[in-house]
Amino acid sequence: MNPTDLLKMSGLAIAGLALCFQPANAAYTLVDDFESYTTGAFNGGSTAFTANGGPWEYNENGGGTGLVGISDDAGNQYVDFGWAFGFRGVQRTSPTIADGDSATYYWQVRSAGGGNTDYSSGLSYLGFDNAFGFGDFEIQIALLGNSGGLTLAARDGDALGPDTVTGLTVDTWYDIWVVVDNATDTYDAYWGTSGDPEVLGTKFADDYTFRNSAGGAQSADLVTFATLSNNQDPDRSAHADNIYFNTEAVPEPSVALLGGLGLLALVRRRR
C-alpha cells in the first residue's frame, strides 16, 4: 500500500475513533433561572432572597433595599440590581468546584443601559452570607461601557486581561462560560449569544489567573456565585440569568482523537 492510500485510511480511522470513543461530556445542570420566585424588590418580599426564604443574599453599600429584585420581561424572569450611588449585588451558594478540581459554569448577563455600565459576575471562595466586594471574586467577568457600546472583559490576576470583546450593545443577553481549573488557579472564558449552554461560544480569555492567587496559590473551594454593580449603574440596570453548572471542564479533548492525531503525524513522518 502506498503512503497516500495509507494516509487516507488513517484519516477515516481517526474520524471513526472520534465518533465511537469520544467521551460524553457531563450534562449541564440548572443552578437558577429565577423562574420559581415571586417578582419584586428585596424589600418588597420577593421569595428569591434569604430574608423571605430564598437562596439569594442581598448585598448593598449605601442603603436602599429596593435596588435589587426579580423582574419579568415577556415571561422571562431574571435578577436585576444596581444604583448610581453605591454598590449593589446578590450572591448565593452554588455547586462547589473543590480545590484541585475543574468544572464549567455558564450564565447570561445584560445591561439595560441608561448610563454607565460597570458590573461583574463570577465565582468566589467566600461563603454566600459574607459581605461581598469586588476584591472577593476569584473568577470575575466584567461588562463595561454605556449605550454607545459595551465591552466584555475578564480579570487576570490583579488587573483586567488584555483580551476583550467590544462592540456589544445594551438590552442584549450575552452568554458567558468559564472553564475553571482550581488546581492551577486559572480559567478560560467564552462568550456567545445562542442562549444555549451546550453551544460553546468564542474564547476571549485564555489561562487567566484567579484574582487573589497572585504570589501564591489560593487553596480554597469555589462555593459562591456572585454579581456586583459599581456605583455608576442606574437603578437595577444590571441583569443576570440562567446559571448552569457542568462537573467537567468543557470542551474536553477526546482521548481517541488525540491518539488518532498521533497516528496521522506518524504516517506523515513516514512519507
What is the per-residue pLDDT across 236-264, written as a single tens digit (0 to 9) for each? 999 999 999 999 999 854 333 333 333 33
How many CB atoms within 10 Å of residue 6?
13
The answer on 191 and 124 residing in a single domain is yes
Do 223 and 94 form a contact (C-beta atoms < 8 A)?
A: yes
Question: pLDDT digit string (tens) for 202-223?
Answer: 999 999 999 987 655 567 899 9
pLDDT score at 100: 94
Q: Is the pTM of this model over 0.85?
A: no
Q: pLDDT tens-digit profile of 110-156?
A: 999 888 999 999 999 988 777 788 989 999 999 999 989 999 999 99
Q: What is the DSSP letter of 62?
A: S
Looking at per-residue pLDDT, the higher value among 83 and 153 belongs to 153
Helix (H) or strand (E) holding 259: helix 255-270
pLDDT in tens, 51-70: 899 999 988 766 667 889 99
When the pLDDT of each residue in the chain is averaged and rounded to a whole number, the result is: 83
* β-bridge partners, 104: 179, 246
Q: Is the pLDDT of residue 50 over 50?
A: yes
Residues 263 and 185 placed together within one structural domain of the fold: no
Q: Are residues 165 and 180 in the same domain?
A: yes
Do 184 and 266 reside in the same domain of the chain?
no
List the one residue out of 179, 230, 166 whose CA is nearest residue 206. Answer: 179
Q: Which domain holds residue 6?
A: 1-21+256-271
CB 244 within 8 A of CB 194: no
9 and 142 together in one domain? no
